[in-house]
Amino acid sequence: MNPIRLSLTTLVAMLLAWSWSSPALAEVPNFTELVEQLKPAVVNISTAKTVAQRSPLQRGPQGRGQDLFDDFFERFFQDNPRRGPHRERSLGTGFIISADGYILTNDHVVDGADEIKVKLSDGREFTGEVRGLDPKLDLALVKIEAGDNLPMAGLGDSTQLKVGEWVMAIGNPFGLEQTVTVGIVSAKGRVIGAGPYDNFIQTDASINPGNSGGPLFNMRGEVVGINTAIVAGGQGIGFAIPVNMAKEIIPQLREAGHVTRGWLGVTIQPLNDELAASFGLDKARGALVTDVVKDSPADRAGFKRGDIVIGYDGQDIDEMNDLPRLVAVTPVGKSVKVKVFREDNEREIEVEIGQLDDKQAASPHLGADKAEEVLGLHVTELSRELAERYDLEKGQGVVITRVVPDGAAAAANLRPGDLLLEINGVQTDSVAGFQSQAAKAVSGQVLRLLVQRRQTLFYTTLTIK
């Protein structure tokens, strides 16, 4: 036989055998059928509000904000140079979860809006009314009056998602209606410094400004996440709130317009191997109690500084963020058994869970509540990942992850990625220390800050509003 013909025959046989045996090729879903099925339940949301004044300092080289995790719609419309009172219009996405017109979206899509327009896939437009807000989880419930036979999206089970699984995003990026992108689940349980309930799904499905509040579908056509954030300057890195977290609060949003959460009353931090060993713990796990709020449920139950919470209501606490998430969904007044490691021994403490109010941090390891209110920023510990992202050396200080638009930090030209080293000459060695100093600030006070931006140190002042 001709050698060339033999080689070609062998190559074709190998390719056919590979294609028949490759599970990846056999499992590529039919996206077209899914898109036709799912698009009608996805809506475009346009909002408007009157803004008194925009700070010219919260802007990047191209006139856009530098938040570590970009708010999609907000960034797209922030290039208007007007400084005085004006109408600010923004775009986002949502999806219908009931036939009578309830729509789930992000809190930041509708926050402060006095005009909400919802456009369906068939072109009809309705006025939306906010029925419930949960800023802590960044979710909102909007209602439209459009009859009782609207197409709706089914809610899946995000705990069943697997890394590598196909997912689909449908949204309104840059105002381009009903845009469809696909990708995979890149990671689960991501903590990105957005708040105490961080537990994000990471995906490489293309997500852009305008996708906020839109659904992330699995290949069974079920919503498994709500698209919320992207990494500034990142390619193929987006984050979605697991739909199970939304399912826990939707009934409260619908019935009461807000969410009631459980409260323990401790400040916590993560452990590394060295810290765990110093306490006599076998490995880095659990949540280390750095402070106990006076007269809180934890205080009354006998929690102490230095306790390591390793179990809660029958569930293991492997990561620090597991604790505030579990406490949050515990009914107020319920007595739960908490397993702690103290003085080389494990013991159980029974505690009656209290109610978290707006003035209490769920678990203030991020200092989000008080810091946002007083200084207009969010901070977190300087992890290795953040140090690499912002070209900083691991050491003292806390890193700014978000600057609140028009807040005191924005007016001081602080940016996400800045390392806050001192406040009025006192070192900020930890988030707990930063939170303590922020709590002492009063309206009108001028704080002197020592800041490191990449490799440059500088002083600046911040006036408390």
- Active site (catalytic) residues: 108, 138, 212
Could you tell me if 447 and 429 are in contact, meaning their C-beta atoms sit under 8 angstroms apart? Answer: no
> Distance (Å, rounded) from C-alpha 310 to C-alpha 287?
7
Could you tell me if 312 and 346 are in contact, meaning their C-beta atoms sit under 8 angstroms apart? Answer: no
> Distance (Å, rounded) from C-alpha 131 to C-alpha 142?
5
Could you tell me if 232 and 67 are in contact, meaning their C-beta atoms sit under 8 angstroms apart? Answer: yes
> Distance (Å, rounded) from C-alpha 91 to C-alpha 208?
11
Could you tell me if 91 and 44 are in contact, meaning their C-beta atoms sit under 8 angstroms apart? Answer: yes
Phi-psi region of 363 (alpha: psi -120 to 50; beta: other; left: phi over 0): beta
Q: Which amino acid is at 346?
A: E
Residue 326: both structure tokens together? 């579990």
> Distance (Å, rounded) from C-alpha 295 to C-alpha 389?
40
Backbone CA torsion sign across 21, 27, 31, 36:
positive
- Bridge partner residues of 336 (DSSP): 351
> Distance (Å, rounded) from C-alpha 133 to C-alpha 140?
4
